[in-house]
Amino acid sequence: MTYKQHWTAEQTAHPCAKADRWAIVFDPTPGGRDNDDGTRSYSMRFPALLISDLVSEPDKAARDVARELNAAPQAQALADALAGMLDAFGGYVCPEVDDAISAMQAIGRDRWSMDAQMKAEVQS
């Protein structure tokens, strides 16, 4: 299955950016969305994750993270949910975005927990 490329590694002008200003940018509608009247609409793209200055190769780290986010079905579902929320709320930040971020963190915890459980089963 091919997923949309919602996540890209790019340099950003965000004032908090470090590590050569690399970030993971989220695009709710990659390539735009075709409208009934024949026009095309694009959504606001924004840096969702800033790469830490603790990373020795920030460009590689950003590309690796973006690739993994685009490849993970859970991340695709999250991207679709975020895109839907941004569309429904006109691109404004709202409590629902915080809920989506919490869901993303839970997905990460669940994946880490499953990885640890699988390693324990292999070792036993």
DSSP string, 2-42: -----EEEEE---TT--GGGEEEEE-SSTT-EE-TTS-EE-
pLDDT at 55 (0 to 100): 84
Matching residue, tokens 């089963």: 121
pLDDT at 1 (0 to 100): 40
pLDDT at 2 (0 to 100): 47
- Please state the domain extents for the chain: 7-123
Contacts of 55 by beta carbon, 8 Å cutoff, 6+ apart: 19, 61
Q: Are strands 7-11 and 40-41 parallel, antiparallel or unpaired?
A: unpaired
pLDDT digits (tens, 9 = 90+) for 22-35: 999 988 888 888 88
Give the pLDDT mean for 58-84: 79
The amino acid at residue 3 is Y
Contacts of 23 by beta carbon, 8 Å cutoff, 6+ apart: 9, 10, 11, 12, 14, 17, 47, 48, 49, 50, 51, 62
Sign, CA dihedral 36-97-48-17, equals positive
| pTM attached to this predicted model | 0.57
